Amino acid sequence: MANYFFLILGYLFGSLPFSIWITRFVKGVDVRDSGSGHATTTNTIRQAGFGWGALVFILDVAKGFLPTYLAKEYSTEIWVIALTATCAVIGHCWTIFANFRGGMGLATFGGALLATTPLAFLICLILLLTLVLLIRHSARASVLAGILAPLTLWLFNIRAEAFWISLGCGIVIAIRFLIDWNRKYRELWLDREKNKN
């Protein structure tokens, strides 16, 4: 029974909508009402500035790191660690504290990997950046990164907690980013929609 506590903890940690709270505090607006329409670091940067966006990024990474670290420290079951991380990403994407309209999950996924295998985090980050540069469409690159992350870690002989975390979180990431598959972009890193002339 105690193992399921970590899954709930992961979801609740992941659900903390820092970009929504911080942007509302700083600017008095809902971060989801403009830009990409998601509660993300990049949307926070657009509306509240780089400093606040950096804070959101750190907190979103922490949302994945802390519950995964606790699950790793106090549970010997790999499935508990992997599902705790996955639940944190699910919570970030579909937060119970903001009508189930959250972010996209990449930073929280990264935090979960950092809690177990920092090398896996680095490999997945390089994979994502490579795909973004090749495809030049961050949503499609993220879908593919979510699908390819487990295979990539397997090829690098990373097959413990980080592999299973990448499998669970990768599926969630891929599903989440499908919503933006056809979004048009003007700026590669801030994924703003093109202005219509």
pLDDT of residue 184: 79
**Residue 91, domain extent:** 2-180
- pLDDT, the chain, mean: 92
| Residue 97 located in a structural domain | yes
pTM, to two decimals: 0.91
Asked whether 22 and 56 are in contact (CB, 8 A), the reply is yes
Report pLDDT digits (tens) over 147-162: 999 999 999 999 899 9
| Residue 186 located in a structural domain | no
| Residue 176 located in a structural domain | yes
Query: Which candidate, 3, 19, 190, places its Cα nearest to that of 105?
Result: 19
Helix 78-93 × helix 161-177 angle, to 10°: 20
| Residue 187 located in a structural domain | no
DSSP category for residue 157 = T
| Residue 193 located in a structural domain | no
pLDDT at residue 102 is higher than 50: yes
pLDDT of residue 25: 95
Q: What Å distances lie between residue 23 and 19, 32, 88, 124, 137, CA to CA? A: 6, 10, 21, 29, 26
- Count of the separate structural domains present in the chain: 1
Asked whether 102 and 17 are in contact (CB, 8 A), the reply is yes
Confidence of residue 190 (pLDDT cuts 50, 70, 90): very low
pLDDT at residue 76 is higher than 90: no
Report pLDDT digits (tens) over 32-41: 998 788 999 9
Confidence of residue 196 (pLDDT cuts 50, 70, 90): very low
| Residue 135 located in a structural domain | yes
| Residue 189 located in a structural domain | no
| Residue 190 located in a structural domain | no
